[in-house]
């Protein structure tokens, strides 16, 4: 996390509010398909690589329909990579059972599973980012509530998202003013604590003021909303179509089949 992340979230928010064929698909439909996608991808055995490649189609098609810059999503995936990388990179050192030889290189099980992990990482993270970029937080929240997520939690998500922009701005201002007076040194624990504490107090005061504004308009503990979103036929077709494709790609290794076909033709 850093200041750049905060700018990023604004960008993501902008993308999420566009109006494209991908954005017009019902949020519930996209949420369900995304979950199914991740579960199917993760259900492959841990040395699988080629059978995973057809799954790239889903995020790529949706991102293209949504006119989301691919490079932007790729960069976000890279930024998120370290944890999977750190745990996954140990696989080649632990599992050194050779599986194959390509030219002068011996491919071990560990390397294969490492590549598989990283590929799955790209797929699952890509799918999640695709969902948000093609839906936006607001539509997503409304969709989650329709699926059955408790209202209290959805309201919490939307409130958090709303004030994220306000409180982050305060944090950025504080950091900037601290940086101006610290001659390039990073924050000491003491300064850090005092910043956090003040940020917390300000946030609590803000919460009080928001509460005041809420009860001034008749708030009684229940956040009521007026939302109309219907699940249309195209949404249902989208869900069914995607699920069937995922299932087919799970059962048959499409990439391998394609390769066999090609290799067969060549030889």
Partner 1 sequence: MHMADALISPVVGGTLWVVSGGLIAFCARKVKQTLRDNLVPMMGVLGAFIFAAQMINFSIPGTGSSGHLGGGLILTVLIGPYAAFLVIASVLTVQAFFFADGGLLALGCNIFNLGFFPAFVAYPLIYRVIAKNQHGTSRAWVAALVAAVVGLQLGAFSVVLETKASGISELPFGAFVLMMLPIHLAIGVVEGLATATVISFVARARPEALPTAPASGASVSLRPVLIGLAITTVIIGGVVSWFASTHPDGLEWSMAKVSGKEELESPGAGIHESLAKVQEKTAFLPDYGFKFTEAAPETAASAEHAAAPETEPWPAVNAGTSVAGIVGGLMTLVLACLVGFVFRTRSIQSAHGQG
Partner 2 sequence: MSHHVVEVRDLSFAYPDGTEALKEISFRIEHGEAVAIVGANGAGKSTILLHLNGYLPITHGIIRIGDVLLTRETAALARQAVGMVFQNPDDQLFMPTVAEDVAFGPLNAGLPPDQIESRVTSALERVRMLHVRERPPYRLSAGEKRSVAIATVLAMAPDILVMDEPSSNLDPRARRRLIDLLRSFEHTKIIATHDLELVVEVCSRVIVLDNGAVVADGQASDILSDESLMLAHGLERPHILGHIHPH
**In whole angstroms, how close is the CB of 171 to partner 2 at the nearest point?**
15
Residues for the chain: how many in total?
Answer: 267
Buried b (16+ CB within 10 A) or exposed e, 60-77: eebbeebebeeebbeebb
Coil, helix or strand at residue 141: helix
**In whole angstroms, how close is the CB of 35 to partner 2 at the nearest point?**
23
Is the Cβ–Cβ distance between 27 and 142 less than 8 Å?
yes
Taking CB under 8 A as the criterion, the residue among 166, 193, 258, 261 binding partner 2 is 166
Nearest one of 1, 27, 40, 26 to 171, comparing CA atoms: 1
Chain positions 55 to 84 lying near partner 1, rule: CB under 8 A, are: 56-57, 60-61, 63-67, 70, 76-77, 79-80, 83-84
Q: Which is nearer to partner 2, 107 or 219 (CB)?
A: 219
Chain positions 10 to 29 lying near partner 2, rule: CB under 8 A, are: 13, 17
Show the tokens assigned to 39: 């579960």
> Does 61 participate in binding partner 2 (rule CB under 8 A)?
no
42, interface contact from partner 1, partner 2, none, CB < 5-8 Å by kind: partner 1
Taking CB under 8 A as the criterion, the residue among 219, 243, 250, 255 binding partner 2 is 219
Is the Cβ–Cβ distance between 111 and 101 less than 8 Å?
no
Point out which span in 67-75, 136-144, 180-188, 196-204 binds partner 2 (CB under 8 A).
Answer: 136-144
Residue with tokens 């996390």: 1
> Does 189 participate in binding partner 2 (rule CB under 8 A)?
no
Taking CB under 8 A as the criterion, the residue among 59, 88, 110, 141 binding partner 2 is 141
**In whole angstroms, how close is the CB of 214 to partner 2 at the nearest point?**
7
Is the Cβ–Cβ distance between 152 and 144 less than 8 Å?
no
> Does 243 participate in binding partner 1 (rule CB under 8 A)?
no
Taking CB under 8 A as the criterion, the residue among 33, 132, 134, 245 binding partner 1 is 132
Q: Which is nearer to partner 1, 43 or 228 (CB)?
A: 43
What crossing angle do the helices spanning 233-251 and 27-42 adopt, rounded to 10°?
A: 10
> Does 225 participate in binding partner 1 (rule CB under 8 A)?
no
Tell me the C-alpha distance between 125 and 72, whole Å. 13
Burial class (CB in 10 A: 0-12, 13-18, 19+), 202: middle
Phi, psi of 98 (to 5 degrees): -70, 140
Binding site for partner 2 (CB under 8 A): 13, 17, 137-138, 141, 158-159, 161-163, 165-166, 206, 209-210, 212-220, 224-227
């Amino acid at each position: 996390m850093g200041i750049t992340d905060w700018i990023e979230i604004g960008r993501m928010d902008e993308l999420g509010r566009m109006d494209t064929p991908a954005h017009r698909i019902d949020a519930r439909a996209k949420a369900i398909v995304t979950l199914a996608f991740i579960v199917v991808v993760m259900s492959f055995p841990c040395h699988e690589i080629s059978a995973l490649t057809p799954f790239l189609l889903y995020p790529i098609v949706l991102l293209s329909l949504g006119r989301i810059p691919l490079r932007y999503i790729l960069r976000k995936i890279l930024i998120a990579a370290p944890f999977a990388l750190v745990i996954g990179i140990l696989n080649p050192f632990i599992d050194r059972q050779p599986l194959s030889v390509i030219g002068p290189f011996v491919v071990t099980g560990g390397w294969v599973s490492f590549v598989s992990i990283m590929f799955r990482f790209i797929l699952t993270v890509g799918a999640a980012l695709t969902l948000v970029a093609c839906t936006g937080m607001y539509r997503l929240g409304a969709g989650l509530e329709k699926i059955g997520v408790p209202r209290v939690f959805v309201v919490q998500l939307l409130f958090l998202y709303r004030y994220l922009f306000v409180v982050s701005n305060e944090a950025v201002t504080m950091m900037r003013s601290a940086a101006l007076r610290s001659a390039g040194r990073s924050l000491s624990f003491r300064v850090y604590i005092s910043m956090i504490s003040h940020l917390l107090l300000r946030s609590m005061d803000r919460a009080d003021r928001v509460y005041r504004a809420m009860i001034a308009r008749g708030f009684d503990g229940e956040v009521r909303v007026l939302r109309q979103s219907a699940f249309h036929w195209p949404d249902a077709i989208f869900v069914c179509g995607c699920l069937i494709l995922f299932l087919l790609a799970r059962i048959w290794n499409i990439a391998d089949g394609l390769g066999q076909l090609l290799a067969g033709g060549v030889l």
